[in-house]
Amino acid sequence: MYKKIISFLLIFTVLLSILTACSKEQDTEDLKPHFTIEGDVLTSYWGRAENVVIPEGVREIAADTFALLHDIKSVSLPSSLEIIGDRAFYFCEKLERVDFNNGLKSIGEYAFSSCIALKEAILPESVTSIGEQIFSYCQSLKTASATGTELELIPEMAFYQCKSLIDMQFSPNIAKIDYMAFFGCTSLNSIQLPKNLKEMGRNVFDGCSALSVDLVLPDLLEEVSAFSFANTAIKSVTGGAKVKLLARGCFAGCSSLKQVVLQEGVEKVESRVFADCTALQELNIPRSVNSINVSAFEGIEATIELKVYSDTYGARYARQFNLKYVTID
């Protein structure tokens, strides 16, 4: 009986050792990167590696390839890579660093959205297009740049709710910054708008409460879009030689705004443009203005003083709504 027990224990110990060794071997295997590459397109990955190095020769990472993988902390991209597909790294919640390669041309929508540990996004100058919500909800992102000379669009919600973003560098050739691109970036404290900027979507910098700058509008811009700088800490507004329209609420809630210089050429001031801009004491109304909404100065009607030209729309508006004004001709 005793010998049988000893034999059983020996067999059990051997089996346990074998199973443990297999388990360790499997764990080690799982930590190695596993790629499926079809031609020059990386189509799938599995494994639990923290630091992923994508092999040379890969030209494209297909959509969703690394999405929702929670072990990855860093990714190194090969010099051969040109395209990152839609949602390629979506919600890789531990991803802290991406080494972008020079030669990369296109990054799809939501590619790095919700990568909440990502700290930096320095896109190479070779990038010519980026998709909407590319870095949305990247809550740890502090520094970003998109300086490629052929990049012309910052798409909608590109950096939406990146609450730690402090600094953003633009290519001078950016022609459009789209809807809510930087909405809710509450740490963003400085920007220089691209000199070739022609168009902005709604709410582009809305809620960027730390944005305390002397804003210079580019000379090619024709419209300051609705709520584009609402609820920011901007201190002054100048430039904008071609601006014709100040759209609804574009500076609403800018309580630190003290100086605005409107250029000749401005034609229309829509509703709530300067609503609750409590530090704004005076404003020049150019001869070219032919429409000002009744609520344009909501909340500051008693304190604002308009500088107007006699026998112009601005003078008639001031008299009609009992606003303080002085003539400057």
Both tokens of 321, joined, read 């709504």
Query: Do both 47 and 110 map to the same domain?
Result: yes
Query: Do both 241 and 137 map to the same domain?
Result: no
Q: Which helix (H) or strand (E) holds 26?
A: helix 2-31
Residue 2 lies in a domain: no
Nearest to 284 by CA among 311, 309, 307, 310: 307
Q: Is the dihedral of CA 238, 324, 269, 179 positive or negative?
A: positive
Task: Among 210, 232, 248, identify where a domain stops.
Answer: 210
DSSP lists the bridge partners of residue 289 as: none
Query: Do both 80 and 141 map to the same domain?
Result: yes
What's the pLDDT at 10?
46
CB atoms within 10 A of CB 68: 12
Residue 4 lies in a domain: no
Query: Do both 158 and 238 map to the same domain?
Result: no
Tens digit of each residue's pLDDT (9 = 90 or more) over 229-255: 999 999 999 999 999 999 999 999 999
Tens digit of each residue's pLDDT (9 = 90 or more) over 170-205: 999 999 999 999 999 999 999 999 999 999 999 999
Q: How many helices (H) and strands (E) does the chain have?
A: 2, 25
Beta strands 41-46; 34-38: pairing state = antiparallel
Task: Among 150, 175, 210, identify where a domain stops.
Answer: 210
Rounded CA-CA distance 221/225 in Å is 10
CB atoms within 10 A of CB 33: 15
Query: Do both 187 and 46 map to the same domain?
Result: yes
CB atoms within 10 A of CB 326: 11
Query: Do both 171 and 279 map to the same domain?
Result: no
Query: Using 50, 70 and 90 to split pLDDT, how confident is the model at 33?
Result: low
Q: How many domains does the chain have?
A: 2
Query: Do both 329 and 187 map to the same domain?
Result: no
Residue 200 lies in a domain: yes
Residue 189 lies in a domain: yes
pTM exceeds 0.85, yes or no? yes
Tens digit of each residue's pLDDT (9 = 90 or more) over 50-91: 999 999 999 999 999 999 999 999 999 999 999 999 999 999
Average pLDDT over residues 207-234: 98
Q: Answer yes or no: is pLDDT of 306 > 60.
A: yes
Query: Do both 79 and 206 map to the same domain?
Result: yes
Query: Do both 283 and 183 map to the same domain?
Result: no
Tens digit of each residue's pLDDT (9 = 90 or more) over 83-98: 999 999 999 999 999 9
Q: Answer yes or no: is pLDDT of 32 > 80.
A: no
CATH number for the domain harbouring residue 218: 3.80.10.10
Query: Do both 191 and 118 map to the same domain?
Result: yes
Contacts of residue 207, Cβ cutoff 8 Å, sequence gap at least 6: 183, 184, 185, 186, 230, 231, 232
Q: How far is CA 5 from the centre of its chain?
A: 69
Tens digit of each residue's pLDDT (9 = 90 or more) over 260-298: 999 999 999 999 999 999 999 999 999 999 999 999 999
Query: Do both 231 and 313 map to the same domain?
Result: yes
Residue 49 lies in a domain: yes
Residue 45 lies in a domain: yes
Task: Among 189, 210, 231, identify where a domain stops.
Answer: 210
Contacts of residue 193, Cβ cutoff 8 Å, sequence gap at least 6: 170, 215, 216, 217, 218, 221
Structural domain of residue 307, as residue ranges?
Answer: 212-329
